[in-house]
Every structure is written in structure tokens, then in C-alpha cells.
Structure 1
Amino acid sequence: MQRLILITLAMCALLAAQPARAGALESSDVVLLQPEAELQPRVPDVQSLATYIDKATAQAAEVARQARVGPPTSGFLVIAIRPGLRSNAWLDFQPPLPSTMAEAMIRAMRSVTPPAVRGGPVVLAVKAGLWGGSSPVRDLPAPKEWRAAIDKAGRSLEPETLVEKIWRD
């Protein structure tokens, strides 16, 4: 349990250190979407994971800075990392982002080289507000791709299972 707390604190400290930027994506909390027993053996280097989350969030913020300002929105940047230095990303914002911006943000987040993980994927989300939107009050993300996979399965699925079902390289 102590290690999971250290992971969360390290990630939150990095996000809190980012300066607020007018018109940019402002992040708040990191939400770990798997149980501690799964995460501990999968994350050999907590600092590398925290640095990666910071860089992926900064890439999303850069896309937001370059975009035309839209209505305030809030949501989640959802990230999954697989062994072999592979990552994927999804978004869950309400109101939704324009599709071209969402696609650019996902590409930007995927462009960051992830840290090494082992034994299976690591799935997490970053709560964020965009263009003056506040951090979401919901605890968990539900990207449209995840909701579609759950509908297709006809039952709820754990984040790791969802990621494996919808992963696109």
C-alpha cells in the first residue's frame, strides 16, 4: 500500500507543479484504474511513470493551446501502457471536444514514449478542465469506446479488459 501511495503522490506532485495557462488544459488528479495488487508489480519505476504522465499531459495541453478556444469542458485523459513501451489514449470530456481536436490530442499523447511496465497493462486517467472548465466531479472515466465495448459485452468490464478489447496500434 505504501508504494501505491508514493505513486499517487509522485504523479500528483508533478501535475500540481505545472503552471496554469490561460486557454490551456489544466489537470488536477491522477486516477489509478486498477487495484494496488495489480499495479505494484507492473510499475518498476514510479518516477518514470510520473514523468511520462506529466509529458503526455503537457502534449495534450499544447494541442489545447494551439486550438481555437471553445466552450468550457471537463473530463479525463485516459492512458494505458503495455509492456514493450506501447501506449494508447482515449478522451472523455463533457461536452465532447471537436473530433479533429480530440484526434490531435490523442496523437500527441501517444507520441510520448511510455515507461517500461511488466506483467500487463497499466491503466490510469488524468482529470482535466479545458478552456476554463473545472475538474470533473465524476470519479471514473467512461470514454465512448469503453462504453461501446461494455454495451457489446452486455456486462461491466474491468479497465484492463476494456483496454485489451479496444486497443488499436
Structure 2
Amino acid sequence: MSDGDSYDVAAYRRAHEDAQRTLDKKLATFDEISTNAWQLIRFNGLVVAAIGTGLTVSKMSPVAIVNAGSVAGALLLVVSTVIALWAKRKRRVTAGPGQEAFEAIEAQGLSEVQYLWWITTDQYPKWIAQAETVSARKAKRVNIATYASLLGVATLVAGILFTLYVP
């Protein structure tokens, strides 16, 4: 970008707004995935609480339902919870220009057009790519944790039913 070229400031402003909206959507996805991980952790806890309550109400000994299915189901729930916690842990993503960006702009004395060009062609693509990458990793972990949880619940229930109804 040279100083002699003429640029459409309005076009750069629109591109900047588009980049902001895109980044906002990527960050919302990031937050949603974290929320899903937390909900899965709570669901797993609810399943364990329900099983514990069922055992207490029925006055059954926890040892009475121990078999391969119930143990495998419980282990899958633990694995699911650990993976969901791993997905939930804090991951940093850049949510837009920070103090260092403003200091760089001030130090370089950028005009509005130069700033808009720099932020839309250099910075926003990095931030959007970072949010996509981190979100994709988190989503993969949450999906694996969800499958482990569902399989764990099914296996746990099958193990308990097997113990109750198969002599």
C-alpha cells in the first residue's frame, strides 16, 4: 500500500465490519463449545447422582450391581468427564485489537486507511484462524466426551439391568 494510491475508505470500513462480525461469530462458537463441555460434565454428575439415589432408595448394596457392564459404564463416564474438563480448560483466543495493537498504530502513525488495511488484511485473519483452530480442537474433544458419556450411560444401565434381571 503506497501513499500515492487512492483507496475507498468506505470499502475498508465495510471490510473491517465484516471481519469484526466474523470474529464475533467465531468467538460465540468458542463460548458455545465451552458451555457444551460444562453441560456434559453436569450431565455425567447427574447420572452418577441418579444411580446413587436409586441404590439408596432401593436399599441395594453398590456391590450388588458391580459387573463388567456397570464398571465399564462408570469408567466411560469418568473418561467422558476428564475429556470434557480438558475441553473446558481455559484457552486463550484473541478477541480483537489489544493494547499492543493500539500502541503499534500510534507508533507507526497510521492513517485511517492504512489502519483499516492493516487490521483487515493482517490482524483479523490471524484472530479468526486462531479462534477456528482452537474451537475445532475443543469441539472434537467435546464430541468424543459426548460419545463416551452416551456409551457409558448405555453400558452402565445395561450392566445394572443385567444384574437385576438375569439370574
TM-score (norm 1): 0.28
Higher relative contact order (CA 8 A, sep 6+): 2
Higher fraction of helix: 2
Larger radius of gyration: 2
TM-score (norm 2): 0.28
